[in-house]
Amino acid sequence: MLPRLPPAAPGQRIGLYGGSFNPAHAGHRHVSLTALRRLRLDRIWWLVTPGNPLKDRGALAPLAERAALAEAVADDPRIAVTTVEAAIGVRYTRDTLRVLVRRRPDLRFVWIMGADSLATFHRWRGFREIAGLVPIAVVDRPGFTLAAPGAPAAAALRRFRVPERDAGRLAGLAPPAWVYLHGPRSDLSSTAIRRAADAGGA
């Protein structure tokens, strides 16, 4: 039996924001609030992953610890934190989306990622299939404003890019469809926070 998903009513527009959240921080919340407003979403689910296949898992805090901190940082009734990926035994976004779309075909999912992720999206397993499963929203990040839209995956999916002025329609569009959201940016990163913590404890 599949684990229980966060509650959602049929027809709702749900943002899916996956990551290690190692640790969760105000930048994650900023991206989520931006997406809620600009995409006209009803809810966002933070998918706290067991481990990113493209990152070193050696510095990864326990899943329960990361999820608990994510709950505290989210601090918004519209944001639900879930460890469903670990529960269903998947590590790749493609597989997660396959399950969610099959389990809740009545919801309008949107995958949310930072521009730093778009820069490496072509390295994700089945990135074209991911784009074909749900619309994607890319939120600008410092240092990636110019580089990310020219990345290999962005180039491959260029003809499916939606004008930013139409971001509010994204959740209702058939994939593939993606939008790049500009605006106020957060320069916080989990990597920098961990490095600062390590330096402070040295």
Q: What are phi and psi of 200, to 5 degrees?
A: -70, -25
Looking at the predicted structure, is the pLDDT value of residue 187 above 90?
no
Residue by residue, DSSP assigns 144-165 as -TTTGGGSHHHHHTGGGBPPGG
Per-residue pLDDT reduced to its tens digit, 4-20: 899 999 999 999 999 99
Predicted pLDDT of residue 19? 93
Closest CA to 17 of 65, 85, 75: 85
Beta-carbon contacts of residue 154 (< 8 Å; ≥ 6 apart): 118, 121, 148, 161
Predicted pLDDT of residue 196? 47
Looking at the predicted structure, is the pLDDT value of residue 167 above 80?
yes
Per-residue pLDDT reduced to its tens digit, 69-122: 999 999 999 999 999 999 999 889 999 999 999 999 999 999 999 999 999 999
Using DSSP's 3-state secondary structure scheme, residue 82 falls into: strand
The domains of the chain are located at 13-200
69: tokens are 């901190």
Predicted pLDDT of residue 56? 59
Predicted pLDDT of residue 59? 75
How far is CA 116 from its chain centroid? 11
Predicted pLDDT of residue 141? 87
Predicted pLDDT of residue 128? 98
Rounded CA gap, 128 and 151, in Å?
14
Looking at the predicted structure, is the pLDDT value of residue 195 above 90?
no
**Residues 196, 202: contact at Cβ < 8 Å?**
no
**Can you identify the CATH homologous superfamily of domain 13-200?**
HUPs (3.40.50.620)
Rounded CA gap, 142 and 116, in Å?
9
Rounded CA gap, 37 and 59, in Å?
33
| Ramachandran assignment for 200, one of left (phi > 0), alpha (psi -120 to 50 degrees), beta (any other) | alpha
User: What is the pTM for the complete model shown?
Assistant: 0.89
Comparison of pLDDT for 49 and 190, the residue scoring more? 49
Per-residue pLDDT reduced to its tens digit, 16-48: 999 999 999 999 999 999 999 999 999 999 999
Predicted pLDDT of residue 17? 98
Predicted pLDDT of residue 74? 96
Say what percent of the chain tops pLDDT 90: 76
The answer to which of 47-56, 128-137, 141-150 has the lowest mean pLDDT is 47-56
